[in-house]
Structure 1
Amino acid sequence: MTALDPAAEFDRQVRTLTGLGYPELSGLTPERFAERLAPLRATALAAASDTEHAHDPGSGRVPFVLVVTRELAPIEETMPRTALHGGKLPGFVDRSFEPGSLGRFVAVPEAELPDPQAYLLLGVERGEEFCGAVPREAMATVAGRGRTLLTIEEGIALLTHFPQVLVKNKCFSLGGSRSGDRRVPAIWISQKAPKLGWCWEGNPHTWLGMASAAGRRAAHAAPPGA
């Protein structure tokens, strides 16, 4: 576990997104993109001061993650901008998602997204304790702890900012996005790259846990031009 400078970490995450082309995906210049996210910087500092969430990416625990949703950057474009820690092959969306189906996997009501475009996810854990557990039972356990399940965009954000969280036998489901059926999205390793796929809610996998967070927080003030 390492000490964290929240201001420096927030700035790093903004640079990561900018370097990966998120401004272009969002239809913004790099400057306007940075302005859109800037109000969240104070939120990151406040969250770090009033919580004690661990910063240990290698163990799958981080205090905050800057999330940009599909409203700004499409999932089909952000997943290929991920990679394994030290890897070169781009992430991909599995073909098991039939055409148009990703659009039906939306945040469950319990997720309560604080902003439709960008916000912070707090107290994140990849949830390897649930490896081998039945997903629907793991989701119930997470809810019983007062924690929230990660959405697809949040899982991609976690991997984007902290690629070291995705390792063999410690991959994670994203129960915060559902499509009204028994499928639960998940990110795991396939062909030496991250893959966004799905598994049945009643089928356990020894290498697939259940990611969760302590909560979400929007900017303290509206972004410029909003």
Structure 2
Amino acid sequence: MTDRKSSVTTSGSLSHDAGEEFDRQVRTLTSLGYPALAGRTPEQFAELAAPLRAEAVERAGAAAGTPYDPAANGRVPFVLVVTRELAPVERTMPLTSLHGGELPGFVDRSFEPGSLERFVATEEAEPPGGDGVHLLFDIERGEEFCGAVPSDAMAALAGRGRTLLTIEEGIALMTHAPRILVKNKCFSLGGSRSGDRRVPAIWISRKAPKLGWCWAGNPHTWLGMASAGARHA
């Protein structure tokens, strides 16, 4: 099934090597069936992602060998993202699961028919390039914003020069680093909006990851705001 193996230290944190981690993420996507979703063979999918490997090593290589623990500090060096142009959200969200869990992720019924397609990337979070794959660097779960009004959290992150995650990027984060989602430390995805006050979010429901939404003006004690340092394609 999924290839989620990484070097684990005695403390339970992950040992990060950028090149090995990039290869693992490609294998994970391949084992989950992303090539077929994108209408490609595994070899073609690997070729599509391959040009991004050097950038991952260059930007995240400084962290090589350094232990990191997504569950504890809510941070991940980088993830490989496949956008909905290649793999529909409705098909990729069920491919996620909690760390150590068996139940598949799901899209909440609060997304009325046809509404999910309207949650597109904001201008600031627009995925780079046109190949349908990109890298997201320096990701933070954003639990410091648990209990904050989402619109205030988004403004604070913009002031720091950070970018909000899209729905596809949130799914990529869950796919490659399922340890990131823990009880009372879930996250909103302010990089995808539909023109109204709804802000997408991923949290835990029925022992599985759920993609839902919350109002931009309503705080939740268990819901922070995910962000990243940069994108690259």
Give TM-score scaled by structure 1 length: 0.93
Q: Confirm or deny: 8 A CA contact 2:136 2:230 kept in the other structure.
A: yes
Aligned to 1:202: 217
Alpha-carbon RMSD across the aligned residues, in angstroms, is 1.6
Q: For structure 1, which segment, 53-62 or 165-174, has the greater mean C-alpha deviation from structure 2 after superposition?
A: 53-62
Whole-angstrom CA distance in 2 between matches of 1:54 and 1:72: 32
Whole-angstrom CA distance in 2 between matches of 1:194 and 1:80: 9
Instruction: For 1:5, give the aligned amino acid.
Output: D
> 1:167 aligned to 2:179?
no
> 1:73 aligned to 2:87?
yes
The residue matched to 2:94 in structure 1 has which SS? helix
The residue matched to 2:144 in structure 1 has which SS? helix
Aligned to 1:24: 36
Whole-angstrom CA distance in 1 between matches of 2:67 and 2:117: 33
Of 191, 195, 198, 1:180 maps to 195
- Residue segments in structure 2 that go unaligned for 5+ positions in a row: 1-12
Deviation at 1:47, TM superposition (A): 1.1
Deviation at 1:51, TM superposition (A): 7.8
Whole-angstrom CA distance in 2 between matches of 1:88 and 1:36: 29
> 1:214 aligned to 2:226?
no
Whole-angstrom CA distance in 1 between matches of 2:122 and 2:96: 24
Of 49, 57, 60, 2:70 maps to 57
Instruction: For 2:110, give the aligned amino acid.
Output: S
The residue matched to 1:28 in structure 2 has which SS? coil
- Residue segments in structure 1 that go unaligned for 5+ positions in a row: 219-226
How has the CA–CA distance of structure 1 residues 4 and 171 changed in structure 2, closer, same or farther, with 3 Å as cutoff? same
Aligned to 2:4: none
Whole-angstrom CA distance in 1 between matches of 2:156 and 2:141: 14
More RCO (CA 8 Å, sep 6+)? 1
Whole-angstrom CA distance in 2 between matches of 1:95 and 1:3: 38
Give TM-score scaled by structure 2 length: 0.90
Aligned to 1:45: 57
Whole-angstrom CA distance in 2 between matches of 1:31 and 1:166: 31
The residue matched to 2:16 in structure 1 has which SS? coil
How has the CA–CA distance of structure 1 residues 51 and 109 changed in structure 2, closer, same or farther, with 3 Å as cutoff? farther
Q: Confirm or deny: 8 A CA contact 1:177 1:185 kept in the other structure.
A: yes
Whole-angstrom CA distance in 1 between matches of 2:191 and 2:159: 15
Whole-angstrom CA distance in 2 between matches of 1:132 and 1:47: 32
Which 4+ residue blocks in structure 1 deviate beyond 6 angstroms? 50-54
Aligned to 1:157: 172
Whole-angstrom CA distance in 2 between matches of 1:194 and 1:186: 10
Q: Deviations over 1:178-198 (max 9, x none)?
A: 000000000000011000000
Deviation at 1:56, TM superposition (A): 2.8
Whole-angstrom CA distance in 1 between matches of 2:151 and 2:63: 29
Whole-angstrom CA distance in 1 between matches of 2:138 and 2:29: 20
